[in-house]
Chain A
Amino acid sequence: MSSALLEVEGISVVREGKKILSHLSLKAEAGQITGVLGRNGAGKSSLAYAVMGLDKYRPLEGAIRFGGREITDLPITERARLGLTLAWQHPARYEGISVHDYLRLSSREAAEKELAAALSLVLLDPKAYMDRMVDKTLSGGERKRIELASVYLMKPKLAILDEPDSGVDLLALGEIMHVFRLLAREGQGVLIITHREDVAAQCDRSYLMCTGAVVLEGSAEAVKRYFLSQCEPCQDVAAAGMEGCSE
């Protein structure tokens, strides 16, 4: 029996008649940062949505197991209550909900100072942000950081972070990666979805995705090398197909 925290086994997802994930398998371990690297359109976010349980991304085949339990047919809420969560690439806006109340949704038990500490971790001043609304008055980058703080407060068993670097400036990226390291050090699993090889290189292990399938699995460094040599020069991802990328 596998000991992986998350095990995705041969899932395929079809949307609007198009296969967007094809016989995809991967694992994520507790206490590790697992990367999923791929160019835009590779199907990385679709993978995140399928694992989180979004209705339109239900697998046609294959299975998803979390903590040894099959969750393929569980709704989002139940997956979240098992300890799985997702930080969205483009976090939604919530009119009339303050940053404080939004963070509180992630952790009803956390002390006020823990909410403030979570904001500080993502380099936002609690005094300046706690009473602001999670609406259009915040930039995409600010909402992204608040989403990461929210995930940090949840203390999930596995956090899926969809393009956590988008909208975050380069200088802050190192600090943000520090948050993921903290999560892993505390024994939680982190699954980072990214199109940046420098982000994937900081993971413990990585997968490379192209056209809805995993084409390579290995050390973060090996995946980065392959990505730079094979994927970056590739001008037509759609035309390449799985055959074009796999060896």
Chain B
Amino acid sequence: MSKVIEGLRYSESHEWVKVEGGLAVVGVSDFAQKEMGNITYVDLPDVDDEVTAGEDFGALESVKAASDLIAPVSGRVVEVNEALEDEPELVNQDAYANWIIKVEMSDPSELDALLDAEAYKKISD
């Protein structure tokens, strides 16, 4: 059974968002890391890149597959988790502690379109 954390918002493509100090912190869910298997590479965007909700902003590669990372919200990337460049396995170890990007949202109302923990549990079961 995959872990789903209360209070986060989730996308149908298995990213999570946590709003922290006005920024959207984005990562992938525990279900996503389990499905991918051992992650071998995280393709990160650059700081200041613009991301658009529903479009890819990077990718995860594992021994099993490569999968696009889809932005759950639009905005400007203000920070990327550089630790993942050398240690992609951190995503496997704890998908919620190891965020991928932080985004300055251009339209916080996009959060409303995302799933809550309850709804996400249903699709990631």
Verify that A and B bind, or say they do not: no
Interface residues of B (CB under 8 A from A): none
